[in-house]
Amino acid sequence: MAERTLLVSKINNGTVIDHIPPGKSFKVLSILSIDSRISYTVTIAVHVLSKKGGYKDIIKIEDRFLQRDELDRISMVAPGATISIIKDYEIVEKFTVKIPDEIVGIVNCPNQNCISNSREPIKSRFVVKSQKPILIQCFYCQRPLTDLEIITNI
């Protein structure tokens, strides 16, 4: 069936984050520090039907291109999200976010006694034990973290 309306307009220049698991766009916005102070245009669609079945969220950010560490953070809260980089209304690059093999300086270890939480300048470090469902383990204290804990400690 032909689409009768376009839910969200195409953008001229910037980044589209599509296929975000439904409801997870709020966390992605927080990771990207998108709040009332921004001076670029952001459009958000929450819980919309996906062509591939089920529901998804979409975020379109004009005039902003994401850094590697931002993409790594998004991969952990919105696995399967696709990133399209738009220039002059054309998609110049499109890829699915990928969870890195090692997560350094992104997630805080919830174990207060962990050396990564001491005064030492040691960056948190996690090894990815499973991608789907996501399971990571602290390199220092072996504390495992599942998806919900990752979301609250990112």
Number of H helices, E strands in the chain: 3, 9
Is residue 41 a contact point for ligand CTP (CB under 6 A)?
Answer: no
Least distance from C-beta 52 to ligand CTP, angstroms? 7
- Measured CA to CA in angstroms, residue 81 lies from 24, 28, 88, 92 at distances of 10, 10, 22, 17
Q: What is the CB-side half-sphere exposure of residue 17 using CA atoms within 13 A? A: 33
Out of 60, 70, 78, 83, point to the residue binding ligand CTP (CB under 6 A).
Answer: 60
Is residue 129 a contact point for ligand CTP (CB under 6 A)?
Answer: no
Cis peptide before 100 (omega within 30 of 0): no
**Is 113:140 a contact under the CB 8 Å cutoff?**
no
Stretch that binds ligand CTP, among 89-97, 98-106, 107-115, 117-125 (CB under 6 A): 89-97
Out of 21, 41, 65, 82, point to the residue binding ligand CTP (CB under 6 A).
Answer: 82
Stretch that binds ligand CTP, among 10-18, 20-28, 116-124, 143-151 (CB under 6 A): 10-18
Closer to ligand CTP at the Cβ: 7 or 104?
7
**Is 154:31 a contact under the CB 8 Å cutoff?**
yes
Q: Which residues bind ligand CTP (CB under 6 A)?
A: 10-11, 16, 18, 51, 58, 60, 82, 84, 86, 89, 91, 94
